[in-house]
Amino acid sequence: MHESHLAEDVLELVLREARQRGAGKIKKAQIMMGEMLMAQPESLKLAFTGLSKGTPAEGAILEIETVSPKVYCQECQRDLSEEMPVSACPACGSLFIKSSGMELKVASLETE
C-alpha cells in the first residue's frame, strides 16, 4: 500500500521535528502533502496510527492539508498550472519549468 510508505516518511519527519524541538510526547501533527503524491488522507492516517505505536507519536492526531500542484515558468514567471502537463513554456519557449505538488512536510507540531 502506497500510503504505508508515505506514513513511514511522515512519522520520520514528525519524530525528527520533535527531537529538534527537544519535545517529548507528540499530541498533534499537521502536515502538508502535495496532491501529486496521490495518497488517500484517511489511509495515510490509519497507517500512521499503526506505525506510531511505541513512539512519542503514539496516539497523536494527524491532520493533513493537501496542496494543489502548481507549475510556472522560471524565465517569464507565467503560471502554467492550468496547462499541465508541460515540458516547455508556451509563452516564451523556456524549458525551465518549476513545479510543486510532491511536498511532504510538517506544518506544525503540538507536543507536551
The residue among 99, 100, 103 whose CA lies nearest residue 39 is 103
Contact 37, 78 (CB under 8 A): no
Q: For each of the chain's 112 residues, which pLDDT tens digit applies?
A: 578 999 999 999 999 999 999 998 999 999 999 998 999 999 999 999 999 999 999 999 999 999 998 888 999 999 988 877 788 999 999 998 888 888 999 999 999 8
**Bridge partner residues of 62 (DSSP):** 29
110 φ, ψ (degrees, to nearest 5): -115, 120
Domains of the chain: 2-67+101-111 (3.30.2320.50)
The pTM score is 0.81
- Quote the cell numbers at residue 48: 500512521
